[in-house]
């Protein structure tokens, strides 16, 4: 499977977070084409996705990083919206 940046068809797509591959993917609901949205290393445990279709922004939580992040499908830029200021590192197993 060859993965690229965001798919051009945003009307018939959905987003999937993958803990095993540590990434967020966009899937075309009609063709099944899959696109890797985030560069590897950007997130380590993505979950809790939300999509703002008006502004083409994808939000997700990163369990390992204790952060909320935003990805723009228009500019392909990632932004950390919030990070827990009391985070003292990864202490769970």
Q: How confident is the model at residue 81 (pLDDT cuts 50, 70, 90)?
A: very high
- Residue 82 clears pLDDT 60, i.e. is over it: yes
**Higher pLDDT residue, 92 or 46?**
46
Supply the pLDDT for residue 41: 64
pLDDT value for 2: 47
Structural domains in the chain, sorted by start? 13-83 (2.40.10.500)
* Sole residue written with tokens 């919030």: 82
pLDDT (tens digit per residue) in 15-72: 998 888 888 888 888 888 888 887 666 778 888 899 998 998 999 998 888 889 998 8
């Amino acid at each position: 499977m060859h993965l690229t940046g965001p798919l051009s068809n945003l009307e018939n797509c959905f987003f999937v977070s993958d803990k095993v591959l540590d990434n967020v993917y966009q899937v075309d609901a009609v063709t099944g084409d899959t696109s890797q949205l985030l560069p590897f290393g950007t997130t380590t445990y993505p979950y809790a996705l939300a999509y703002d279709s008006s502004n083409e922004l994808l939000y997700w939580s990163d369990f390992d990083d204790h952060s909320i992040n935003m990805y723009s499908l228009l500019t392909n830029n990632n932004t950390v919206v919030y990070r827990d200021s009391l985070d003292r590192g990864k202490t769970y197993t």
